[in-house]
Structure 1
């Protein structure tokens, strides 16, 4: 294993985090807050430690998928460990475990919180909470590739380990340029939302924080009632942009380069929008009697569907009070998630499309045993490797979900609270139902359960395997062996 390259990646990630912390320092200066010292201490530590880690250059820059997974998992853990420090140093979240929970929830764009109310927090801390969503939404390693392209031709393994979806490709031949295009789209959509919210009458600070939370599909609100206290126009704007950030970014790339036929032929996007429209209509009809007008019912249902399927986690109403039919639809949408290649979480629409077509193919083979039917998406045959990875993902997801639920159930809470708390964290949604509904939080859970949720949030954001691979003994044996005994031949692992 190339432990030197893992060290370089981790060091650069720490340096980037330290530099990014300069932005909440500016916010603290603008509002005259004394939280500056907390961010300065953390930023200084991150930059110094990160610089020490990258001083010694590696002899071998070959980087395989194994190293990519380990670097990704450790990067997100390290990012969260340092990111939690400002909360604890300022005393706004005294418990480091709770601060770590809040930070992991932020970076993984989950939005689950241990805070009973947020309006008493300082502006800089509120901004940092929302900013963690934006940093984690597109991925810190994608950002690293955008500004510090790695050499050796193997940096696609970092993007594969961090990017969501059953298969990850490059928009253009160079990975670094692909990362810059993705971040260009990401920043452009974020700025567009800020402008729209300002026009709708939202203040600059609220517009920026809300847009950062929407862009990362995270959902940390800066008001105790989330988005519920804002005007209908603002709620519609947030709804539209939540849906927009849940779209596969490849579609935006095609639009930018005027390949409209290809953009509107992305099967996953069409299915994703179809699910949103159908779910919104079904829930609106089911809850219309609970509202004064049809527009209110449609707005509430549309917002709830958008916030759940994109795994954003904002709220305008307490959907835990809705009929069982509506709540069941929302729970199902928790697992579906947004499109692959977006900032949304969940299992991803593309995996369900592949799974559904696999079922149809199996039915077809029973009726016509001798026929050979390939699974196609957008006219392209889905490779066997992709089908295998989708099947393995579903099985692994079910296993992690079940084990997590069993551990959390030891607290003897009601089934709905236990089930949806795990669903909300592993799918990076935030709120669940009952004890973890839109008006509740995760503060009352035990330390053990909080660590389970933290693992689930990280595993869900990183598509399970980068986190699970850390538990394999062979990985650590290889890691420490490589540090003690250098490779004899740099080509010996090319078969991996």
Structure 2
């Protein structure tokens, strides 16, 4: 057996400090928004930023003498505890300002932000100061591309290699790289991410949103988060189809592998149209939109489906638009709502529950299982029929015209089994806490898949505020393991991980 070296604790705490410095810097950005709007929350948000940066600086100072080396184990610890440290300090603007005085509620809201889930305990969002709302959206944006990828982009300045961090942060099956150096990859991804955010902000502003609403919704859309500045979420703009169409375009892009966006900017369109995951992603969205739109048009109660609003292109356009919006919002795990999809017939309620397990593309900011995993599992399942008839034949699973290595297929199957077990345990714990079956089912699927809206008492028109404290903490745990794709967090619970040999 291979030997495991002792953990390099100094580099772990040093990078925790670095992440807290970044977190505090974003809090000061929120404080600037607060100052410009004169909302009265500038001082508490600034103090929260100062506290966070002070803790970060102290950690970095105390561990400045460290080995500049990260092994796999350190990578997993830095990613998991990095998210926890960011979430714990991320509660400070809410607590200091009194916007969310309860620590459990503030921790839930913050974890929901960083994991880009979008579930909320807030009942009156519009009453919050602008600086707090902006901070809430920023937590999405930081978490969307991954707080660790952000750190990777500046690790060369510290003389530290970031490959192990990137592997722990993005453990999915997609192996595409934009550039051979991992730091250059991170920088290119962030450039695309920032560019899309600015583009959506501009377009939403031109379509009639205020600048404040536009930038907040752009931060939420590109991160596939779902926090809104309005109590009614995107339903607030049901009278403006253009705003919803713009949001749909960017939800679609956010749920697509960002590597494909890079290829598009480099005019390498053949790479995009040859990508099997992308083709399936487009086909599923199109097919599910038609199905949902037709059911809304012919069978849904107009008073419950938002198609009774006076629309320019009539009832059919409205039904298709709402159908497409909710399909995109759930598949990409953005979680915006334009209507209560649980009121669109029992069939569509179950249908959207199923979509919560789909997820967007690998290499996107979306949560869920991811389309490529489903695709490879289906291909492997079909090959099992052939292997039954021809037991001696060598039949590899092929993806994008290349044979998928057997360990990757096994990893995907193990991931799916672990995901479903986590879902079942999630439902059982919610039921034990006191939630009814429908609510427990939706709450576990939504939290684990980082979707946002769920079913029952946690449906699109409700929030998570009435969950007992234990339920909020359990949902936070599910959000974390779902966002970090299970293995990164759950491996820390295995005894052999901590064993030095």
1:202-234 deviation per Cα after TM superposition (whole angstroms, max 9, x unaligned)? 110000001001011000111111011211110
For the 8 Å contact 2:439–2:458, the answer to whether it is kept is yes
1:154: Cα distance to partner? 4.7
Aligned to 1:263: 272
Once residues 498 and 65 of structure 2 are traced to their aligned partners in structure 1, the CA distance between those partners, rounded to angstroms, is 19
**Higher mean Cα deviation, 376-385 or 418-427?**
376-385
Once residues 317 and 303 of structure 1 are traced to their aligned partners in structure 2, the CA distance between those partners, rounded to angstroms, is 9
Aligned to 2:179: 172
For the 8 Å contact 2:272–2:278, the answer to whether it is kept is no
1:46 lines up with 2:31 in the alignment: no
Aligned to 2:74: 67
Q: Which residue among 78, 97, 116 is the counterpart of 2:85?
A: 78
Q: Which residue among 175, 183, 187 is the counterpart of 2:190?
A: 183
Aligned to 1:485: none
Q: Which residue among 119, 125, 134 is the counterpart of 1:127?
A: 134
Task: Give the TM-score, by structure 1 length.
Answer: 0.94
Q: Secondary structure at the match of 1:371?
A: coil
Q: Which residue among 8, 19, 30 is the counterpart of 2:14?
A: 8
Once residues 286 and 157 of structure 2 are traced to their aligned partners in structure 1, the CA distance between those partners, rounded to angstroms, is 42
Aligned to 1:195: 202
1:150: Cα distance to partner? 6.9
Aligned to 2:432: 410
Once residues 11 and 137 of structure 2 are traced to their aligned partners in structure 1, the CA distance between those partners, rounded to angstroms, is 31
Once residues 465 and 359 of structure 1 are traced to their aligned partners in structure 2, the CA distance between those partners, rounded to angstroms, is 23
Q: Which residue among 100, 112, 117 is the counterpart of 1:105?
A: 112
1:102/1:16 Cα in 2 relative to 1: closer, same or farther (>3 Å)? same
**Higher mean Cα deviation, 441-450 or 451-460?**
441-450
Number of corresponding residues: 479
1:473: Cα distance to partner? 3.8
1:365/1:153 Cα in 2 relative to 1: closer, same or farther (>3 Å)? farther
Aligned to 2:253: 244
1:263: Cα distance to partner? 2.1
1:386: Cα distance to partner? 1.1
Q: Secondary structure at the match of 1:133?
A: helix
Aligned to 2:3: none
Which consecutive aligned stretches of 4+ in structure 1 deviate over 6 angstroms post-superposition?
150-153
Q: Which residue among 455, 474, 491 is the counterpart of 1:433?
A: 455
Aligned to 1:461: 483
Spell out the pairing of 1:326-345 with structure 2 (5 A cutoff): 326-345=348-367
**Higher mean Cα deviation, 145-154 or 202-211?**
145-154
Once residues 348 and 236 of structure 1 are traced to their aligned partners in structure 2, the CA distance between those partners, rounded to angstroms, is 24
1:405: Cα distance to partner? 1.3
Aligned to 1:114: 121
Q: Secondary structure at the match of 2:420?
A: helix
Q: Secondary structure at the match of 2:365?
A: coil
Q: Which residue among 316, 319, 344 is the counterpart of 1:322?
A: 344
Unaligned runs of 5+ in 1: 479-492
Aligned to 1:225: 232
1:8: Cα distance to partner? 1.7
1:376/1:152 Cα in 2 relative to 1: closer, same or farther (>3 Å)? farther
**Higher mean Cα deviation, 143-152 or 284-293?**
143-152
Once residues 465 and 305 of structure 1 are traced to their aligned partners in structure 2, the CA distance between those partners, rounded to angstroms, is 28
Aligned to 1:481: none
Aligned to 1:285: 294
CA RMSD of aligned residues (A): 1.6
1:60: Cα distance to partner? 2.4
1:174: Cα distance to partner? 0.7
Once residues 340 and 465 of structure 1 are traced to their aligned partners in structure 2, the CA distance between those partners, rounded to angstroms, is 16
Aligned to 2:100: 93
For the 8 Å contact 1:160–1:168, the answer to whether it is kept is no
Once residues 160 and 68 of structure 2 are traced to their aligned partners in structure 1, the CA distance between those partners, rounded to angstroms, is 9
Once residues 47 and 85 of structure 1 are traced to their aligned partners in structure 2, the CA distance between those partners, rounded to angstroms, is 12
1:476: Cα distance to partner? 4.8
Q: Secondary structure at the match of 1:21?
A: helix
1:164: Cα distance to partner? 5.7
1:22 lines up with 2:28 in the alignment: yes
Once residues 124 and 153 of structure 1 are traced to their aligned partners in structure 2, the CA distance between those partners, rounded to angstroms, is 34
Once residues 256 and 237 of structure 1 are traced to their aligned partners in structure 2, the CA distance between those partners, rounded to angstroms, is 19
**Higher mean Cα deviation, 47-56 or 318-327?**
47-56
1:207 lines up with 2:229 in the alignment: no
Aligned to 2:320: 298
For the 8 Å contact 1:109–1:217, the answer to whether it is kept is yes
Aligned to 1:487: none
Once residues 154 and 383 of structure 1 are traced to their aligned partners in structure 2, the CA distance between those partners, rounded to angstroms, is 27
Aligned to 2:391: 369
Q: Secondary structure at the match of 1:247?
A: coil
Unaligned runs of 5+ in 2: 1-6, 309-314
Aligned to 1:486: none
